[in-house]
Amino acid sequence: MEYSRAKDWLFAQRRSGRIRTPQRARRLLSLLGLTGQPQRFVHVLGTNGKGSVAAYLEAAFIAAGRRAGAFSSPHLVDLRERIRVQGRQISEAAVVEFVAMVRPLTGVEATFFDLMLAMALWRFREEGVQWAALEAGVGGASDATMAVNGVAATIISNVAADHLATFGGFEALAADKARAARPGTPLLTAARGSALRIIAREAERVGAPLFVYREGSSLFSLPAVPGIKGDAQKTNAALASAALRLLGFAESEIAEGLQRARLSGRMDARECCGRRIILDAAHNPHAVRSLLRSLPASYHLLFGAQPHKDVAGMYALLTSRAISLTCTWPLKRSSLPGCAYLADPQKALLNVVSRSDKNEPVLVTGSFYLLGKLLGSDLFD
């Protein structure tokens, strides 16, 4: 089987309206003999910042000399980005081998995400991973990652308004994330307001020691400047640092991890045709507000978002400092005020670049999928 065929088969395993639950993943892991993982995991959940927190953890595990793994989502260009061992994505041959192994199984109704999770645990076992960062997909108790055992710490980065239709409102979303708390397992969060109250109640109910981010707290202090850029990274790095301290990692290992961490698509500065391009995967108003605190005073905006997101809310925040406004895929069309629409992201970026001066940056934001389309092209120098 070729990699392209294996990849196509994985993508075809859609959830298609089925409920979000870890039960499918539990059954798949059981069939594959992956339920008693020897690895220790840090489970990372939250609306925004999960990928960054996981990247800091992964880099620190490597700095500490541990055999390290990471499971994250979504990918930008290639699905293999979701599974890393020692900082490197898995091979095409590994994907082909896994698909050949699971495809003949009967009675399995696993989704793409379930299968990618199982593939990650399989690779971690095969490659002797000791510590891994485990990033949830959507939610908490309802997410497939709850099928994983061996969680040594849980991090809920924050809770913000996203996927509300899926969960039936903000408090229901917060409650689902809170129910990722595990008895006796440290739970760390930078959540605020009603979300924090919900998390605190659940932590107390199950007996999970709760550690809440406070600026100036020694537990959450930063021993080095984070390697990922952006205003939100202070909090993301602080959460990872605190978890690592609680788990017994040395300050020097934590510092090296923070400095070495990298993550595409987060305040990601590139060049295209001699122009500075800033790519950021902010895809809800909470993330956009944080992004704006890190941006130059003005920029040309190329904006694309999935139609079910808070498109108008994000756009309203981004326009006040924009020199020009262009919208593109994954929006199907644009009724946003003042926004020219070009369906093809690559042509849209080249159009924006052609109208910008050399000292005027171009901001591309609104969707992981938009960034993936562009980063998978040959546009950047």
Give 170-236 as a DSSP string: HHHHHHHHHTT--TTS-EEE---HHHHHHHHHHHHHHT--EEE--TT-STT--SS--SS-STTHHHH
Domain end call among 260, 276, 293: 260
Whether residue 191 sits in one domain with residue 135: yes
Whether residue 22 sits in one domain with residue 90: yes
Whether residue 16 sits in one domain with residue 165: yes
The token pair at 164 is: 């509300």
Domain end call among 260, 288, 322: 260
Reported as a single tens digit per residue, the pLDDT across 259-276 is 999 999 999 999 999 999
Whether residue 275 sits in one domain with residue 168: no
CA distance 180 to 23: 14
Reported as a single tens digit per residue, the pLDDT across 203-223 is 999 999 999 999 999 999 999
Name 326's bridge partners: 302, 340
In a domain, 116, yes or no: yes
Confidence of residue 107 (pLDDT cuts 50, 70, 90): confident
CA dihedral of 108, 104, 90, 42, whole degrees rounded to 10: 20
Please count the other Cβ atoms lying within 10 Å of the Cβ belonging to residue 212: 18
> For the residues 73-96, what does the mean pLDDT come to?
97
> For the residues 236-257, what does the mean pLDDT come to?
98
Q: So what's the pLDDT on residue 240?
A: 98
In a domain, 380, yes or no: no
As to burial, measured by CB atoms within 10 angstroms (0-12 exposed, 13-18 middle, 19+ buried), residue 141 is: middle
How many distinct structural domains can be found in the chain? Answer: 2
In a domain, 186, yes or no: yes
Whether residue 199 sits in one domain with residue 334: no
Reported as a single tens digit per residue, the pLDDT across 155-191 is 999 998 665 566 668 888 899 999 999 999 999 999 9
Whether residue 249 contacts residue 152, with contact meaning beta carbons closer than 8 Å, is answered with no
Whether residue 215 sits in one domain with residue 127: yes
Q: So what's the pLDDT on residue 109?
A: 86
Whether residue 201 sits in one domain with residue 280: no
Whether residue 272 sits in one domain with residue 254: no
Higher pLDDT, 164 or 128: 128
Whether residue 272 sits in one domain with residue 244: no
Domain span at residue 14?
A: 3-260
Q: Is the pLDDT of residue 28 over 60?
A: yes
Q: So what's the pLDDT on residue 163?
A: 57
Whether residue 297 sits in one domain with residue 231: no
Please count the other Cβ atoms lying within 10 Å of the Cβ belonging to residue 258: 27
Confidence of residue 300 (pLDDT cuts 50, 70, 90): very high
Domain end call among 209, 241, 260: 260
In a domain, 71, yes or no: yes
Q: So what's the pLDDT on residue 381?
A: 77
CA distance 71 to 83: 5
> For the residues 301-312, what does the mean pLDDT come to?
94
Q: So what's the pLDDT on residue 166?
A: 67
- Cα–Cα separations (whole angstroms), residue 182 to 134, 140, 149, 157, 229: 15, 11, 10, 16, 31
In a domain, 250, yes or no: yes
Q: Is the pLDDT of residue 86 over 60?
A: yes
Whether residue 253 sits in one domain with residue 141: yes
Whether residue 296 sits in one domain with residue 163: no
In a domain, 216, yes or no: yes
In a domain, 248, yes or no: yes
> For the residues 363-377, what does the mean pLDDT come to?
97
Q: What's the CATH number where 33 sits? A: 3.40.1190.10
Q: What's the CATH number where 293 sits? A: 3.90.190.20
Q: Which of 237, 271, 315, 311 is nearest to 60 (CA)?
A: 237
In a domain, 381, yes or no: no
Higher pLDDT, 173 or 18: 173
Q: Which of 17-21, 37-41, 256-260, 291-295 has the lowest mean pLDDT?
A: 17-21
The token pair at 9 is: 């088969």
What order of strands is seen across the sheet that includes strand 322-327? 268-272, 275-280, 362-365, 299-303, 322-327, 340-341
